[in-house]
Amino acid sequence: MTQALRPGSVPPAGAVFDELLVMLAQQGDKRALERLHARWNPRLARAALRYTGDADLARDLVQECWIGIWKGLGRLRDPARFRAYAFAVLHRRGADHLRRVIGERTHAAALADNGTDDPSFPAMQAERLALHQAFAALPPDQRLAAHLHFVEGLTLREIAEVQDVATGTAKSRLFHARRKLKAALSGQTPETTDPQGEPV
- Identify the domain containing residue 37 by its residue range: 1-104
Residue-level pLDDT at 126: 63
Concatenated DSSP letters for 109-126? Answer: HHHTTS-TTSTTS-HHHH
What SS3 string covers 58-117? HHHHHHHHHHHHHHHHHHCCCHHHHHHHHHHHHHHHHHHHHHHHHCCCCCHHHHCCCCCC
The rounded distance, in Å, linking the Cα atoms of 42 and 151 is: 12
Question: What's the CATH number where 13 sits?
Answer: 1.10.1740.10
Indicate whether 58 belongs to any domain.
yes
Indicate whether 179 belongs to any domain.
no
Indicate whether 33 belongs to any domain.
yes
The rounded distance, in Å, linking the Cα atoms of 140 and 156 is: 17
Residue-level pLDDT at 185: 74
The most confident of the ranges 9-13, 21-25, 194-198 is: 21-25
Number of domains in the chain: 1
Indicate whether 135 belongs to any domain.
no
Indicate whether 7 belongs to any domain.
yes
Indicate whether 17 belongs to any domain.
yes
Indicate whether 176 belongs to any domain.
no
pLDDT tens column, 76-97? 999 999 999 999 998 888 776 6
pLDDT tens column, 21-59? 999 999 999 999 999 999 999 999 999 888 877 888 888
Indicate whether 16 belongs to any domain.
yes
